[in-house]
Amino acid sequence: MHHAPQEIDSQPAGVKIHGMGLYDEHILPRILNVVMGTADIREERKKCLAEVTGDVLEVGFGSGLNLPHYPAGVKKVVAVDPSVVGAKLARKRVEEAPFPVEYLPLKGEEISAPDASFDSVVSTFTLCTIPDVTAALGQIRRVLKPGGRFFFVEHGRSPEPSVQRWQDRLNGVEQFLAGGCNFNRNMEQLITAAGFQLVTLEKYYAKGPKVATYFYRGSAK
């Protein structure tokens, strides 16, 4: 089936793209499209999305790298992301998706959806970058239906003090190079502090430098 994404060709009035300048708006989305599409990261996406069902909100849609990995129970995906370039890179994946995809060029803190309107909300490698992550998690909690689940895989703060020190030292560089991404956010603490109850949680090092590869993967309600 082929589904045309909404609002991909132009930036609506009043919507500001995250970041400033040529690099953040045009070059970085193309770099992330490649770096976040490696075989190892694809496996992380598959594991994260295995139990996603129903009407889905994806926060931090990027270039649509999750779309091929959604399971058969998904009816619709509403994609939230301020990057218009990312949405254009997603076009082919959107057209090939076996469910409709609606694109909303908004920030994670500004989800324009009614309360209790989604069965599942998904965030993959996104909470590290949203400036006001607490506000975004509040929006995610607001739009989930009773009994709905929040599915996530994120990189964040390591439990090892020696790694933490390097995460803190390099965090400013990471923010500059990766569009505001943070190495040192404790995802478990942020999610539970937002009022979620964890259903599943795995914490581990993935392949690569420890400073960037301590992963939190799970679901919450």
User: What CATH number does domain 21-220 carry, 3.30.200.20, 3.40.50.150, 3.30.43.10, 3.30.70.3170?
Assistant: 3.40.50.150
Q: What pLDDT does 33 receive? A: 63
- Return the exposure string of 73-95: e unless at least 16 CB atoms fall within 10 Å of the residue's CB, then b: ebebbbbbbbbbbbbebbbebbe
For residue 220, what is the DSSP state?
E
pLDDT level of residue 17 (50, 70, 90 thresholds) = very low
Query: Model confidence over 134-159: pLDDT tens digits?
Result: 999 999 999 999 999 999 999 999 99
Can you tell me the distance from the alpha carbon of 141 to that of 134, in angstroms, rounded to the nearest whole number? 11
Q: Is the pLDDT of residue 203 over 50?
A: yes
Tokens for 188? 């478990």
- The residue-averaged pLDDT of 190-217 equals 97
Higher pLDDT, 42 or 34: 42
For residue 8, the model assigns a pLDDT of 36
pLDDT at 11 over 80: no
Quickly state the pLDDT bin for 22 (edges 50, 70, 90). confident
| CA atoms of 132 and 190, how far apart (whole Å) | 11
69 close to 43: Cβ distance less than 8 angstroms: no
- Round to whole Å and give the CA distance between 111 and 105: 10
